[in-house]
Structure 1
């Protein structure tokens, strides 16, 4: 129902191609859509002579030939610099003051092509442009380009098939070419996904036009993101403005709202909401704060799309109103509404609370003290802080990360020697000297790996419709929503109860069962390289204990999306006496984020030994004076 007869004829036409024809098409499909010189195509693994293979694709309607190439700019873009210089010389370009770079040569030839010849036979004719095009095509030789029609069909097929790719971040489905490589790895036995049962009940797209609209929205989102990533803010603004369609205007709201939230992210309304959210970032970058506030309010007026972004929107709204527009009453109202929003979680909730506190402590807002005092409060307990010193390596530029110098480990060859290390490696060495013989710098992946292993069978359980919709999913679709816990509440609570009452032997058995049965399978929660062996993972869970692990798993299962960040950098433990520490490392001038403060407090409440290790820097001169 999502593909018409013309679409299906392209698919069946591909199936009728020879194997070499199919191989060449797939290779060309994965390249950027542009004209290519046949003599520059080099796929010896397909055929040493690609001419007949390309002709088969032309005959099948999959490739265009140079007879369709009538755009001068496209031909010039195709030519390498030496041939462009030869062409420019033919038309007496390239003299003093004219450039010899490719883009300069192209500009010069295009400018010349727009000049009307004195000998033009009729109005609208341009002999110079026609002659340049003819000469350029002669230099280019035989050229081909994928036909847009069939290519669009295959892009849509792969988009539909790979909808679940890149759910965790702001990546977008760009046609599904990456999925081709995944399928290849699976078919060759180099990649394996977890075992689960696919159950598709919900209809994501109502018809072919609905799918095409979704594809267009996702491509528009990718264009905005690309412009932002490359720093072209004015272009990003133009793209965002061109796509300024508020989700509430969509005629498919009823259908989309009826979908569970973990499927709603595959709708046109969700894609446009992400465009508008990106537009806020663009407006703020360009200091258009009034417009940004207006957009934020329209985003917050609905809760159908991107509910996980509401904390960020409230936070930005309060900041813009307070700092940039100097509207404290409205800022306080935004803080109150944000704190009352049940969809605002963890770090953003604390950020709003801390903004209110700063306003309360500032003399500038003394008139608003009664109103600020009435706001809900959030109490976060502090943890132990320690400070160590390290010799900072005096480097310039680079990644911006601090690099420290540390004496080499004992037993190193030669006499006195030092190694360059990160602030976390310096801290691990400090804790080794304190008797913690084991340590991992894994940040959140250490905890998510334990979460994934101890809960594996629950995560990939059967009987929950629509959470698994294709064979190549590294996690269920509801993992990043509140539905994850709701759909598995009984099983999670039972497992947590088992953990809380478990002996060390039971903990080891749970780890061993998941590890031995699932090792190497692709799961977004589990980093198989985080622990050197099963035994090392078992030694850590022995130290952490079942009660702590049960509490941690409960918190992560209830709100994984907002709880996966902010966990401590280091886990260090002593295998001889089963002691451990969870350590957040802070380099010079580094501060705790809101999510880190919340996790440290929560871990301490669960009975963990938690501390913040501050590393202060001494320069080379300071170390020499000592």
Structure 2
């Protein structure tokens, strides 16, 4: 067994010029998990990972390649990796001797048909098909169906195809590598290729302190719980009836991060149950899910089932909650429909504010978009205009709240290569950081926010942040924004952004125009949404524009028509 110690320092990334760079990245993953999650692994699992390092470099590289591929079965003649520097057969022999492989595995009929071609299967299948009264030249799918009833049990490849068949090996430890992958990524959606086969060094990542308290998984049972939920989701995706999967859905837990995963699983189970006609199960699943989409789906299904009184009671209670604009809009439509059917007075919808609009007729540019045409038309040295869309307000927020966004909250960061927190779009993203966000907003109140924003802009230049698009946020734009946008407006915008990060990060107007020479603080900037001929506002854009109108934030929609008699050069 190797005496190599797992990593404790911040890991680096491999150079793609190294033909075995993927092995270096795999060793980074294993070292990170052994160092930070070793207490969540059994003694046997730790020994197995430690023995990885005692293998020769070619054997470690081949094992990494096998782990990265789909499934745990491999034809040895299909393993072709010249960068190993030795024959693949020698590396396979070493892996077999170290008990990483089963060199004579049992294969189901489906596994056999996945591994071998029709031409390879036909000689062995011909006498079996003829004995069953079937043509010997059946296509592969029909051949499999014809043989399935005769061979329900798995056999070795030699028993299936004869002793001269190409050898097949099974990797014994794929479940362990899946567990490692989960603890490193924080999910099983990402494959090994998402880390092992990419060059991570071209990005700068914010260093986040990784402590035992900040881990998403505190106990091995929580890893097991995630894996159980993942298997439930896989079965749903494979078409297993939702009623069968429902029986295996784990119960509630105290881990907030895992609770959010369970909420998403129940939301999907409810969708599948509804599609499968099991509406009562769908209602139960939606009611059990805390996902923000589940309540609307529950109400819409109750309406379709004509259970109007029940839907009214749930919807009326839900109105008192803090809702995103999209949730409030959907709920209002349901309440209006229910009120007409129950003879009740529908809630009075809030008055729709008027959205300011202007019209421009411009020569059609030979190149470029309508947004750039308007930006060029509006831009003056004394009143500069910029095409920013969703980047400026998000960027200002990201720079002001940088330290809060990258706080080591449990379940937010799993490894050193995160662009942002894993819980960014989760319902409890803000509540788990509420005090820290309020401290950021206090900087807006006391006027010290420009120093924080500019300090982070200079110190974090090029470091990844889910809110900051570095090529767009330059010093000129930043200085004008800090000079012309009042702190009160920034706080208003940031607080709405945090009400639903997933929805509210988009929908901002295309352009912003600054008026630095104006002394009236309410008229020193304006945001402009540009709509070309035939284009119209989207729902999320309308919600932002109506919000601007209510809050007194200067914004307008610019409708553009093209002149018929010229082309702007």
TM-score range, shorter chain: 0.7 to 0.9
Q: Distance in 2 between matches of 1:138 and 1:570?
A: 68
**Structure 1 position 32, deviation (Å):** 0.6
- Equivalence for 1:433: 377
Q: Distance in 2 between matches of 1:615 and 1:565?
A: 25
- Equivalence for 1:142: 167
Match of 1:601 among 539, 546, 564: 546
* 2:34 aligned with 1:44: no
* 2:326 aligned with 1:347: yes
Q: Distance in 2 between matches of 1:331 and 1:10?
A: 54
Residue 489 and residue 573 in structure 1: after superposition, are their counterparts in 2 closer, same or farther (change >3 A)?
closer
Residue 114 and residue 598 in structure 1: after superposition, are their counterparts in 2 closer, same or farther (change >3 A)?
closer
- Equivalence for 2:405: 459
Q: Distance in 2 between matches of 1:355 and 1:217?
A: 32
* 2:489 aligned with 1:548: yes
* 2:335 aligned with 1:356: yes
Residue 110 and residue 615 in structure 1: after superposition, are their counterparts in 2 closer, same or farther (change >3 A)?
same
Query: Is residue 439–residue 572 contact of structure 1 (8 Å, CA) maintained in 2?
Result: yes
Query: Is residue 439–residue 571 contact of structure 1 (8 Å, CA) maintained in 2?
Result: yes
CA deviation digits over 1:552-608, x for unaligned, max 9? 234434x35366345325123358866432427598585642x54443233334443
**Structure 1 position 527, deviation (Å):** 2.5
- Output aligned runs, 1:480-559, within 5 Å: 480=426, 481-498=429-446, 501=447, 507=450, 510-531=452-473, 533-557=474-498, 559=499
* 2:48 aligned with 1:10: yes
Q: Distance in 2 between matches of 1:106 and 1:288?
A: 32
SS at structure 1 position matched to 2:309: helix
Q: Distance in 2 between matches of 1:475 and 1:83?
A: 49
**Structure 1 position 389, deviation (Å):** 9.2
Query: Is residue 99–residue 105 contact of structure 1 (8 Å, CA) maintained in 2?
Result: no
CA RMSD in angstroms comes to 4.2
- Equivalence for 1:75: 112
- Equivalence for 1:218: 230
Q: Distance in 2 between matches of 1:241 and 1:198?
A: 40
CA deviation digits over 1:194-238, x for unaligned, max 9? 1332333278657534422321212322453x45xxxxxxx15x1
Q: Distance in 2 between matches of 1:523 and 1:297?
A: 35
SS at structure 2 position matched to 1:472: coil
TM norm structure 2: 0.75
- Equivalence for 1:610: 555
TM norm structure 1: 0.69
Query: Is residue 20–residue 53 contact of structure 1 (8 Å, CA) maintained in 2?
Result: yes
Match of 1:331 among 303, 307, 311: 311
Q: Distance in 2 between matches of 1:288 and 1:68?
A: 40
Query: Is residue 208–residue 407 contact of structure 2 (8 Å, CA) maintained in 1?
Result: yes
Match of 1:159 among 182, 196, 205: 182
Q: Distance in 2 between matches of 1:98 and 1:346?
A: 63
Residue 70 and residue 560 in structure 1: after superposition, are their counterparts in 2 closer, same or farther (change >3 A)?
closer
SS at structure 1 position matched to 2:208: coil
Query: Is residue 283–residue 301 contact of structure 2 (8 Å, CA) maintained in 1?
Result: yes
- Equivalence for 2:529: 583
Q: Distance in 2 between matches of 1:359 and 1:271?
A: 32
Q: Distance in 2 between matches of 1:111 and 1:353?
A: 56
- Equivalence for 1:242: 244
SS at structure 2 position matched to 1:572: strand
Q: Distance in 2 between matches of 1:448 and 1:338?
A: 29
| Count of residue pairs brought into register by the alignment | 512
Residue 587 and residue 332 in structure 1: after superposition, are their counterparts in 2 closer, same or farther (change >3 A)?
farther
Residue 204 and residue 197 in structure 1: after superposition, are their counterparts in 2 closer, same or farther (change >3 A)?
closer
- Output aligned runs, 1:108-147, within 5 Å: 108=143, 111-112=146-147, 134=159, 136=161, 140-147=165-172
**Structure 1 position 42, deviation (Å):** 1.9
- Equivalence for 1:59: 97
Match of 1:173 among 154, 179, 188: 188
Q: Distance in 1 between matches of 2:125 and 2:411?
A: 60
SS at structure 1 position matched to 2:508: coil
5+ residue gaps, structure 2: 1-38, 518-523, 565-569
* 2:269 aligned with 1:265: no
Query: Is residue 442–residue 569 contact of structure 1 (8 Å, CA) maintained in 2?
Result: yes
Query: Is residue 412–residue 421 contact of structure 2 (8 Å, CA) maintained in 1?
Result: yes
Query: Is residue 113–residue 132 contact of structure 1 (8 Å, CA) maintained in 2?
Result: no
- Equivalence for 1:449: 395
- Equivalence for 1:475: 420
Query: Is residue 283–residue 291 contact of structure 1 (8 Å, CA) maintained in 2?
Result: yes
**Structure 1 position 71, deviation (Å):** 3.4
Match of 1:21 among 29, 48, 59: 59
Q: Distance in 1 between matches of 2:79 and 2:372?
A: 52
Q: Distance in 2 between matches of 1:431 and 1:555?
A: 26
Query: Is residue 58–residue 64 contact of structure 1 (8 Å, CA) maintained in 2?
Result: yes
- Output aligned runs, 1:371-410, within 5 Å: 372=346, 375=347, 378-385=350-357, 407-409=364-366
Q: Distance in 2 between matches of 1:2 and 1:275?
A: 24
5+ residue gaps, structure 1: 117-123, 164-171, 228-234, 300-305, 391-405, 410-418, 621-626
**Structure 1 position 348, deviation (Å):** 0.3
Residue 195 and residue 210 in structure 1: after superposition, are their counterparts in 2 closer, same or farther (change >3 A)?
closer
Q: Distance in 1 between matches of 2:121 and 2:41?
A: 43
Q: Distance in 2 between matches of 1:109 and 1:610?
A: 64
Query: Is residue 232–residue 248 contact of structure 2 (8 Å, CA) maintained in 1?
Result: no
